[in-house]
């Protein structure tokens, strides 16, 4: 996985479930994309309710565009054997806006501290292996007002430009003019202005707005 364009952590597109069995103990890993700690807490509560008869529900979560909120819990396992190893996997794989819950059904055989660390970290790693990764990047909002008579041609030009430069053509509104909205990499803004001027014989200019974090390939 790792950081995506712009050096930002990636995330996952959809929830993922994987099961790991170690010496008859079942480790059920559930990973879910979340937008906040509160949303992560709701996922944990749902998993606890679904697997109410399990002995442990260990948690690790990373939230925020720069992975600035992190939390873990061992939920009754020996200190440091579950939540922290799970969190380390999320950190190492450089993902954010993800909550991992590993539910354990005890199989009657003690695994020891090392065995628990391996089991919980492997459960999360296996789930990440099958998750669909979503790259993230910082993009600048740009709008271009185009006369209706030129809108069809410029739509194709802007669509091709976005595809060639890892930008996003976010949409178009038809009012007095056709207003195209794009999300452009900050490093490409000057190139975009130059290419737009060339495509319109200098008639069109772009307005720059705020920067935002966007998902590039959901």
Domain match, 39 and 127 both: yes
Counting Cα atoms < 13 Å in the Cβ hemisphere of 192 gives: 31
pLDDT tens per residue, range 35-45: 999 999 999 99
Residue that terminates a domain, selected from 83, 109, 134: 134
Residue that terminates a domain, selected from 101, 134, 167: 134
Domain match, 78 and 151 both: no
Domain match, 190 and 107 both: no
SS3 14: coil
Domain match, 110 and 178 both: no
Residue 5, pLDDT above cutoff 50: no
- Tokens 């995330």 found at: 11
Question: Which structural domain, as residue segments, surrounds residue 68?
Answer: 5-134
Instruction: Assign residue 189 the CATH number of its domain.
Output: 3.30.70.240
DSSP string computed for 38-65: HHHHHHHHHHHHHTTT-SEEEEEEEEST
Structure-token pair, residue 67: 């992975």
Structure-token pair, residue 143: 């709008």
pLDDT tens per residue, range 65-105: 889 999 999 999 999 999 999 999 999 999 999 999 999 99
pTM of the model as a whole: 0.77
For the chain, the domain total comes to 2
Q: Which helix (H) or strand (E) holds 2?
A: none
Q: What pLDDT was estimated at residue 66?
A: 87
């Amino acid at each position: 996985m790792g950081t995506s364009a712009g050096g930002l952590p990636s995330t996952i597109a959809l929830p993922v479930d994987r099961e790991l069995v170690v010496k008859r103990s079942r480790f059920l890993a559930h990973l879910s994309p979340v937008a906040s700690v509160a949303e992560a807490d709701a996922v944990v509560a749902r998993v606890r309710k679904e697997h109410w008869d399990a002995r442990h529900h260990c948690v690790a979560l990373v939230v925020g565009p720069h992975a600035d909120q992190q939390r873990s819990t061992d939920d009754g396992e020996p200190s440091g054997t579950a939540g922290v190893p799970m969190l380390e996997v999320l950190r190492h794989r450089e993902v954010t806006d993800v909550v991992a819950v590993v539910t354990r059904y005890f199989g009657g055989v003690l695994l020891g501290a090392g065995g628990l660390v391996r089991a919980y970290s492997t459960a999360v790693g296996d789930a990440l292996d099958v998750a669909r990764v979503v790259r993230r990047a910082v993009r600048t909002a740009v709008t271009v007002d185009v006369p209706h008579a030129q809108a069809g041609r410029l739509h194709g030009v802007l669509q091709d430009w976005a595809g060639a430069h890892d930008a996003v053509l976010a949409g178009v509104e038809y009012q007095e003019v056709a207003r195209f909205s794009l999300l452009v990499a900050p490093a490409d803004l000057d190139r975009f202005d130059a290419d737009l001027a060339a495509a319109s014989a200098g008639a069109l200019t772009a307005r720059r707005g705020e920067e935002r974090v966007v998902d590039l390939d959901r």
